[in-house]
A and B are shown apart, each in its own frame.
Chain A
Amino acid sequence: MSKAPDQPKVAGLNDLLAVAYQIEIDAVERYNLLADQMETHNNPELVRVFRDLARAEGIHGEEIRRLAGDFDVAAHARKIARFGRADSPEEAALSDAHYLMTPWHALQLSLAGEKRALAYFTSIVGTAKDAKVKAMAAELVEEEAEHVNLVYRLLRRYPAPTESWAEDMDPPVSQE
């Protein structure tokens, strides 16, 4: 196996900001990819949902870039923010996509991502030795907790679909 670590090493504040930035950028890329897939498969409601999620993550990324001030957080992220085997925490699972998925499914993907990010920054709060890193990670934990709550609030608008959500009267699979 390759020797790449499963999580990037966060040795200082700049590393933390770079990793946080990369997490948001990866999420943007993933949501846009899912939106493109839904566009191809003519699911316009999901195109809107995924584009909105991408936009929201992009705003978070920009906030982190502002926090970093003159430091080139994007360049540093390219150098250090690699997540080994796993996806980066907020990347929605591509393998869970379905051409007939509903906004509820999209939000479930988003919720799982936000929870992974929350767990990731919580673990940094728990292990960081540098006081500045610990404090910034605690701020990021608060933000991610707010994002988790936001997704829960959105889910109230989109209840779980019926069991037949994946039934297609004209399926692409003709093996029956």
Chain B
Amino acid sequence: MSGVATRSTAKPADYKSDVNAIWCPGCGDYHVLMSFTRAFAQLGLPPEQIVVVSGIGCSSRIPAYTNCYGFHGVHGRSLALAAGLKVTRPDLTVVVASGDGDGYSIGGNHFLHACRRNIDMTYVVMDNHIYGMTKGQPSPTTEPEFDTALAPGGTGVRPFHPLVVALASGANFIARCFSGEPNETANVLAEGIGHPGFSFIEILSPCVTFRPDERAWKERVHPAPVAETSDQGKAARRLMTDDGFNLGILYRGNRAPFQPAVSKSDIDLSELEKDFEL
């Protein structure tokens, strides 16, 4: 977020659009939206200097509900869009919103390479362990024994461990939050946005319609018992043995962000258009 002017008087409401959020009542994503606006206000970022990019899914509705610039993109491709935007407009603060289906399945490959490139942006994945928008198919983080009419007897497949993957792939900031703690989530989001490089924040966000059992997550989450670390080896051990409900900043690296030099002439659109003339 380097180069962004800050305002000390910003209120969360300054970052909300006039569009009423549409999710199921009880959905954790309402809290996540609240955390976004609180984090932006905390940082005092001007709304016109923030871009919220998303893919497809319940979580990806979020750009429309903020007063910032937004891009509701293609399924699983939010990180590619965001990366392009950030390298050409490094002055903007880029926050990417996704879900466990959009981000880890269709967008899984982009996730790996976004971590590896370490471009200065923040990737928020609202993980509810299910495809909510398309009515409850198992996602990469669904438990193997989760039994539904769409996966009778469960998938039997080991779930994806996004935090471990993020660390191994090079993410520079890794945290887990719970949607039901919007203030703490806002604090972590603000930290992630402020940290240089690729920040990955997983937010456990219950889907009360297709996973009513997730209402009990509020009893299961707990602050991580250890302080954050910048040691990759320690972080790897912790994340590999993590119970999936440890909350907080779990890794804060010090790798320099990737920012290719972009000069005006490199993005002369008229030159580019000539290449596509028929």
Residues of A within 8 A of B (CB): 1-2, 4, 29, 33-34, 36-41, 75, 78, 82-87, 93-99, 101, 172-176
Contacts and interface: CB of A to CB of B under 8 A. Distances in A.
Contacts of B84: none
What size tier do the contact residues of chain B reach? 35 or more
Interface of B: 9, 11, 13, 20-26, 28, 30-31, 135-136, 148-150, 179-184, 187-188, 191, 206, 208-210, 215, 218, 223-224, 228, 247-249
Given A41-B25, A87-B183, A175 B30 contact: no
21 contacts: A1-B223, A1-B224, A2-B187, A2-B188, A2-B249, A4-B183, A34-B25, A37-B25, A39-B20, A40-B22, A84-B183, A95-B218, A98-B26, A98-B208, A101-B25, A172-B209, A173-B136, A173-B209, A175-B136, A175-B150, A175-B210
A94 B21 contact: no
A61 B261 CA distance: 51
Nearest to A43: B25
A94 B195 CA distance: 30
Nearest to B214: A95
Contacts of A75: 9
A152 to B, nearest CB: 25
Contacts of B181: 85-86
Contacts of B25: 34, 37-38, 41, 97-99, 101
Contacts of B150: 175
B86 to A, nearest CB: 25
A94 B187 contact: no
A173 B21 contact: no
A38 B184 CA distance: 27
Main secondary structure of the interface of B (DSSP, over half): loop
Contacts, number: 83
A153 to B, nearest CB: 26
Contact of B148 (A37, A172, A175): A175
A94 B188 contact: no
Nearest to B12: A29
A25 to B, nearest CB: 10
A38 B21 CA distance: 11
Contact of B183 (A29, A83, A95, A176): A83
A5 to B, nearest CB: 11
Given A175-B136, A175-B148, A94 B31 contact: yes
A138 to B, nearest CB: 27
Residue from B23, B187, B218 whose CB has the most chain A CB atoms within 10 Å: B187
A94 B184 contact: no
Contact of A95 (B135, B149, B180): B180
Contact of B11 (A36, A41, A78, A82): A78
A99 B24 CA distance: 7
Contact of B184 (A2, A29, A33, A172): A2
Given A37-B21, A87-B182, 16 more contacts: A1-B223, A2-B187, A2-B191, A29-B13, A41-B24, A41-B25, A78-B9, A85-B184, A94-B26, A94-B31, A96-B26, A97-B25, A97-B26, A172-B24, A173-B136, A174-B135
Given A95-B26, A98-B26, A4 B20 contact: no
Nearest to B217: A95
A39 B25 CA distance: 11
A82 B183 contact: yes
Contacts of B149: 175-176
A85 B182 CA distance: 7
Contacts of B209: 172-173
A94 B136 contact: no
